[in-house]
Amino acid sequence: MKSSPFEHWDIETAKETYGIDHWGNGYFDVSDDGEVMITCPVNGSDTVKVPLMDVISGMKDRELDMPVLLRIENLLDQSISNINEAFRSAIKAAEYQNIYRGVFPIKVNQQCHVVEEIAQFGNRYNHGLEAGSKPELIIAMASLPSDESYIVCNGYKDEEFIDLGLRAIQLGWKCFFVVETPSEVPLIIRRSKELGVKPMIGTRIKLSTTVEGHWENDSGDRSIFGLNSLQLVEVIDQLKAADMIDCLEMLHFHLGSQIPSIHNIRQGVQEACRYYISMINEGAPMGYLDTGGGLAVDYDGAQHRGTHSKNYTMDEYCVDIVEAVMQTLDPLNIPHPVLMSESGRATVAYSSLFLFNTLDVAHFDPVFKVEKPSDDSDETLKNLFEVTERLNPKNVQECYNDAIFYRDEIRHLFNRGQVNLRVRAQAENVFLSIVQGVQSIAPSVEHLPEELTNLREDLADIYYGNFSVFQSLPDAWAIGQVFPIMPVHRLNEMPTREAMIADLTCDCDGKIDNFIGGRKTLPLHPLKKDEEYYMGVFLVGAYQETLSDLHNLFGDTNVVSIRINADGSYDFMRELHGDSIADVLSYVEYDPKSLRDKFRNTVEKAVRRGKISVSTRQQILAAFSASLSGYTYYEN
Ligand SMILES: *Cc1c(COP(=O)(O)O)cnc(C)c1O
């Protein structure tokens, strides 16, 4: 689609168009020469800027082909500092009489480099880990450098899970078993008695507070997690009967992820505090209140309570939790508990971005110059052409209808064998030129008919990106998650195309046609010959890496971690080459060696039959082996 919606273009327009200042949290900017810069806090308050295109060229030098997931270690560190400092300030300002201890829920990004970085950097804040399964508990116990950090065990726990947690307590950790159902309690009681270790028990409460947004069903009566008041009584009675009520120290709740409204969070904390008080009244010592996850990321930068946004800052989140707890507990002179939270999304989202190149573009523009058909041409084609001659702002609707009518008529004629391919192609060409014409005069039409308002989307280009939505942006496919996406260079040029993005999978869901701000298309630049066009999908550090799947057998992408130094230089800390074709084949139970053997037999047969020479055989086998060890994505 040709006409550009922009009257003028400069770096400010670029920033506004892609919303980078709104969703970037100050971590990304655009340079005067039109490149996205990572704006990284170093040494507390200073920031340095690193052009993303430099990082991309460093990847190229290291033979790390697109697509690449880029992690910026500094941004991960920054997020951990942010939440800890925000709670510290809120606690100080309100004179709250206890501390904050965060834990990172491993399920949000289990990748070794990420968890190690959180454990190492987080150590200065005693930031711990949350485990929802045995493998995650094993990660936590092996990664946390100090026993000052907490471990929280959620999820269903079998004997082995419980034993591991009790061992963690023996080793000095505060390791909480969060009870999700009363049926877990007898096992905890039995194993702790058998091992002679006093457990630290928490209860996950099912609040009646419901939240807005995508995870609405994680909250409220029908939430699949947590104890209702009846079950809580059952748990308390079980512990009392075993003479273990003194082990009940924590209350946990989790209202769901990405809670867009601060009001819901406040309400949840207030309700949870009532349970907290009740548990003290029942004789439990308590002392720890865990407010779970839910701290949202403003993916579209709108700062409102929409599904992809939030109407509060991290500071407000912390202040509201601290205040809500004090307001509920202070009138009863109940000592302030250690405040805990399990922020996953907000901790890791910013630190990763996904980069891909563009392979091709499909346009919906006329391909040939539109010329008047000769007098002996098909009548319908001539009628269609006439529409181009009378199109004006007063008759757009009529012309549009006529164009569709004649185009469909030509298609019928073609299907009946009455016009040939050339005529049909000519007609489609004329049709596209009419629709383009309608689209370009549409803005000047006063009462634009409904069906003409979507023309922009109907005529949008399709940019083919070198990636798989299913592998790299699974939430975009599965739950309609919107991520900020933009070109990472050429931002000093006006984007003259409107496009949706398709991936490499041949699946009709393998596309992105939902962008921030509710847009169905993204303004992009025309591709240049012999020059790559790179786009970035930002804020992808949470949930995207491990929910991914092998649709069409596109495997893990290359991963690069960088650390930015105070002088603006940066180091490639880690690089992980993505799956080879042999890797992904072995995931679905093929044995690369036996594939090679079978193929060898086929090729050898061709030699025997005289179809190919022995030297061609060698070339074919070499190419097959090279492919097996190659990247699953498009390689240049
Ligand atoms: C998933 C989950 C979290 C993380 O939630 P975020 O919204 O990503 O912060 C925290 N706690 C529990 C129990 C979870 O299941």
What is the pLDDT, as a whole number, of residue 4? 64
Could you tell me if the CB of 293 is within 6 A of ligand 1? yes
Name every residue whose Cβ is closer than 8 Å to that of residue 293 and which is 6 or more positions away in sequence: 105, 108, 254, 256, 257, 341, 342, 343, 344, 345
Rounded mean pLDDT, 27-39: 97
Q: Please, which residues have CB within 8 angstroms of residue 267's CB and are 6 or more apart in sequence?
A: 209
Calculated CA dihedral for residues 108, 113, 115, 116, nearest 10 degrees:
180
The amino acid sitting at 602 is T
pLDDT grade for 1, boundaries at 50, 70 and 90:
very low
24 in Cβ contact with 36 (< 8 Å): no
pLDDT at 297: 96
Query: 505 has which bridge partners?
Result: none
Rounded CA-CA distance 606/621 in Å is 12
Omega prior to 67 cis, within 30 of 0? yes
Quote the CA–CA distance of 127 and 557 in Å, as a whole number: 29
Establish whether residue 154 lines the binding site of ligand 1, counting it when its CB lies within 6 angstroms of any ligand atom: yes
CB of 345 shorter than 6 A to ligand 1: yes
Q: What secondary structure letter does DSSP report for 601?
A: H
What is the rounded distance in angstroms from the CA atom of residue 103 to the CA atom of residue 114?
14
> How far is the centre of ligand 1, averaged over its atoms, from the C-alpha of 557 (Å)?
25
Residue 216 structure tokens: 């609405």
Cα separation, 513 vs 457, in Å, equals 9
Token pair 């991309």 is found at 56
Q: Residue 105: CB within 6 Å of ligand 1?
A: yes
Helices (H), 36-158: 52-61, 73-94, 112-122, 134-143
Q: Name the nearest CA neighbour of 289 among 352, 359, 336.
A: 336
Confirm or reject: Cβ of 295 under 6 Å from ligand 1.
yes
Sign of CA dihedral 383, 384, 390, 395: positive
- What do you get for the CA distance between the two ends of the chain, in Å? 28
Nearest 5°: the CA angle 136, 124, 95 is 105
| Residue 447: band (very low, low, confident or very high) from pLDDT cuts 50, 70, 90 | confident
Nearest to 236 by CA among 180, 282, 280, 201: 282
For residue 502, give Cα distances in angstroms to 86, 466, 510, 524, 633: 40, 9, 6, 14, 14
Give the pLDDT score at 532: 97
Residue nearest to atom 2 of ligand 1 (CA): 293
Tell whether the model's pLDDT for residue 520 goes beyond 50: yes
The pLDDT value recorded for residue 510 is 94
pLDDT at position 204, please?
96
Distance 343 CA to ligand 1 centre (A): 6
Residue closest by Cα to atom 5 of ligand 1: 293
Dump pLDDT digits (tens) for 113-141.
Answer: 999 999 999 999 999 999 999 999 999 99
pLDDT in tens, 532-569: 999 999 999 999 987 778 888 999 999 999 999 999 99
Residues 6+ apart with CB under 8 A from 120: 145
The residue type of 209 is T
Question: What's the 3-state SS for 28-56?
Answer: EEECCCCCEEEEEEECCCEEEEEEHHHHH
448 confidence band (pLDDT: 50, 70, 90): confident
| Listed residue (102, 111, 103) closest to 547, CA to CA | 111
Q: Ligand 1 centroid to 427 CA: how many Å?
A: 56
Output phi, psi for 178, to 5 deg. -90, 115
* Pocket of ligand 1 contains residue 204 by CB under 6 Å: no
Tell me the CA–centroid distance for residue 50 and ligand 1, in Å.
32
Query: Residue 492: helix, strand or coil by DSSP?
Result: coil
Q: Which among 342, 479, 539 is the best mutation to test ligand 1's pocket, defined by most ligand atoms within 8 Å of the CB?
A: 342
Per-chain mean pLDDT for the chain? 94
344 lines ligand 1 (CB under 6 A): yes
pLDDT band at 222 (very low <50, low <70, confident <90, very high): low
Whether the CB-CB separation of 252 and 258 falls below 8 Å is answered with: no
Q: Tell which one of 80, 115, 130, 299 to mutate to probe ligand 1, the residue whose CB is within 8 A of the most ligand atoms.
A: 130
Q: What's the rounded Cα separation, in Å, for the pair 576 and 586?
A: 19
The pLDDT value given to residue 545: 84
Q: pLDDT tens digit string along 260-282?
A: 999 999 999 999 999 999 999 99
Percentage of the chain beyond pLDDT 90 is 87
Residue 210's pLDDT is what? 81
339-391: per-residue pLDDT in tens?
999 999 999 999 999 999 999 999 999 999 999 999 999 999 999 999 999 99
- Nearest CA owner, ligand 1 atom 3: 293
Report, as an integer, the average pLDDT of 602-627: 97
Q: How far is the CA of 488 from the centre of ligand 1 (A)?
A: 31
pTM across the whole model: 0.94
Atom index in ligand 1 nearest the CA of residue 178 equals 13
Which H helix or E strand runs over 107? none
pLDDT digits (tens, 9 = 90+) for 209-220: 887 777 676 667
| Both tokens assigned to 22 | 């709104």
pLDDT of 328 higher than 60: yes
Tell me how many helices (H) and strands (E) the chain has: 22, 21
Best of 176, 254, 345 for a ligand 1 pocket test (most atoms within 8 Å of beta carbon): 254
Phi first, then psi, for residue 50 (nearest 5°) are -125, 120
Using alpha carbons, list the distances in angstroms from residue 498 to 18, 399, 439, 494.
13, 23, 12, 12
Return d(Cα 633, Cα 293) in angstroms, integer. Answer: 35
Query: Tokens for 82?
Result: 């942010």
Q: What does the pLDDT read at residue 2?
A: 46
Q: Which pair of tokens denotes residue 109?
A: 């990004």
What is the tens place of the pLDDT at every residue in 62-72?
999 999 999 99
Ligand 1 in reach of 155 Cβ (< 6 A): no
Spatial distance between the Cα atoms of 562 and 555, rounded to a whole number of angstroms: 22
Burial class (CB in 10 A: 0-12, 13-18, 19+), 605: exposed
115 vs 226: which has the higher pLDDT: 115
DSSP state of 451: H
